[in-house]
Amino acid sequence: MDFKIAPMFPFKVIGFQKIFDNETAYTEIPKFWNETLVDNCIGEYGVCIDDIGGGKFRYLIAGKYTGGPVPEGMVVYQFPRNEWAVFDCIGPNPQTLQSVNIRIFSEWLPGNPDYELSGNATVEWYDCINGEMTDPDYHSAIWVPVKKKA
């Protein structure tokens, strides 16, 4: 799989949060996107936060947070400084992104001799300016926090 390693400074996102079950997430998260008002680049990021346990995780439809009051119904999540493995996805979503995500966690991470997971939150990046998610050449990406193996 093609990827690049990119260091990132700490950053914050703001968005709408919902809890999902691992077993039904690929069906239910697209419905969440369809139900959520996405405006002003809220929707540039989909953030999966694995901190609940029991086969469940938090998911945010989010955008960059630059400060100020947090509107009711929204939450802020902060990412620490980290290195990220960035996997570009070209094609219609959610199919393309879900396919790449499956390969990352079933093939790339388990078989990678150099990198391992370094956090509990991954990021889906969506181009909120160019194209529609259903376009055959739509650009999105998955960011996975990693560290060099000892």
- Given the candidates 3.40.50.460, 3.40.50.1010, 3.20.80.10, 3.90.1150.10, the CATH classification of the domain at 4-148 is 3.20.80.10
Q: Give the model's pLDDT for residue 130.
A: 87
Per-residue pLDDT of the chain (150 residues; tens, 9 = 90+): 889 999 999 999 999 999 999 999 999 999 999 888 777 678 899 999 999 999 999 999 999 999 999 999 999 999 999 999 999 999 999 999 999 999 999 999 999 999 999 989 999 999 988 888 899 999 999 999 999 998
DSSP class per residue in the chain:
---EEEEE--EEEEEEEEEEETTTHHHHHHHHHHHS---TTTTSEEEEEEEEETTEEEEEEEEE--SS---TT-EEEEEPSEEEEEEEEESSTTHHHHHHHHHIIIIIHHH-SSEEE-SSEEEEEE-SSSS-TTSTT-EEEEEEEEEE--
Would you kindly state where each structural domain of the chain is located, as residue ranges? 4-148
pTM of the entire predicted model: 0.91
Q: Give the model's pLDDT for residue 67.
A: 94
Q: Give the model's pLDDT for residue 101.
A: 96
